[in-house]
Amino acid sequence: MNKIITLGPEFSYSYNLALEYYKKEDIICVQSIEDIFEKVFKNKNYKGLVPIENMINGSVRESFLSIRKNPVIILRAIDYAIDNIIAANNKKYSKIVSHSQPLAQCSQFIKNKKGIEIIEVSSTSKAMEMAAKDRNVAAIGNERAAKFYGVNILQKNISNKMVNVTRFIEISSKKDKDFLKGKKTSLIIEPFKDKAGILFEILSVFKIKEINLTKIESIPTGAKMNDYIFYLDIDGSLEEKRVADAIKFLETFVKVKVFGSYNIACSK
């Protein structure tokens, strides 16, 4: 049985998705997104499930920083509907706690709570655990976590938008038989050297090959200020000649790390 590594404690959004999507797998919770990547990168029998982007708040920065340090394979993506609620065992709470993503996704709700201290924690389930222990704490998270930790739901649907979706990726340290297949391909591009117009040159290759670029994320190298590598999502499969040719040409002037081609599923 494969082990699925995801962000815990139990009943975080990541854990809930793993519970729904991998019904026969052994789910292991860790304390950070970086921990997921590290464990999957070092163990071929592990798969990981990590949030990569939210439609309201954008990229999950920790995931992009981790994927650079631990270059894994992306097996698939899953779009998961997020329904943020606030829960507390005291209506007169003085603190709101949650993961950075839900805090940002519910910024309009939080803005109206004057004089409330906002605290960022490692996961939504950790926030619920804190709310269960401290009557001054309200947690933003999901209904399943609130019920599990015995925290009263005060209000539902508190996200800035009624429709709120987070994309998760399933990662592995080994390629599967479908590595070349799928409607989307992800890669990291690292210039051999910094020069004027390098990003334009990179993007021009996709334009010439008529490949739609759906995402570009700048990731700092940490070597010096204003020094970046680029994470890209493109429409197309590694099986397609235009995609293979584009990558081959890019490799003449930049370093390319391909994470694989994969499809996007939607979870209820």
Residue 1 has pLDDT above 70, yes or no: no
Q: What is the pLDDT of residues 184-231, one digit of tens each?
A: 999 999 998 877 888 899 999 999 999 999 999 999 888 888 888 999
Residue 266 has pLDDT above 90, yes or no: no
The Cα–Cα gap between 170 and 52 comes to 10
Among 203, 101, 75, 86, residue whose Cα is nearest residue 145: 86
Q: How far is CA 114 from CA 94, 101, 141, 263, 266, in A?
A: 10, 20, 20, 43, 37
The Cα–Cα gap between 264 and 254 comes to 28
Q: What is the pLDDT of residues 59-77, one digit of tens each?
A: 999 999 999 899 899 999 9
pLDDT at 7: 93
Mean pLDDT, to the nearest integer, of 224-249? 94
Q: What is the pLDDT of residues 151-197, one digit of tens each?
A: 999 999 999 998 999 999 999 999 989 999 999 999 999 998 877 88
Inter-residue contact 264 to 79 (CB < 8 Å): yes
Q: What is the pLDDT of residues 123-132, one digit of tens each?
A: 999 999 999 9
pTM for the model:
0.90
Whose tokens are 């010439």? That residue is 208
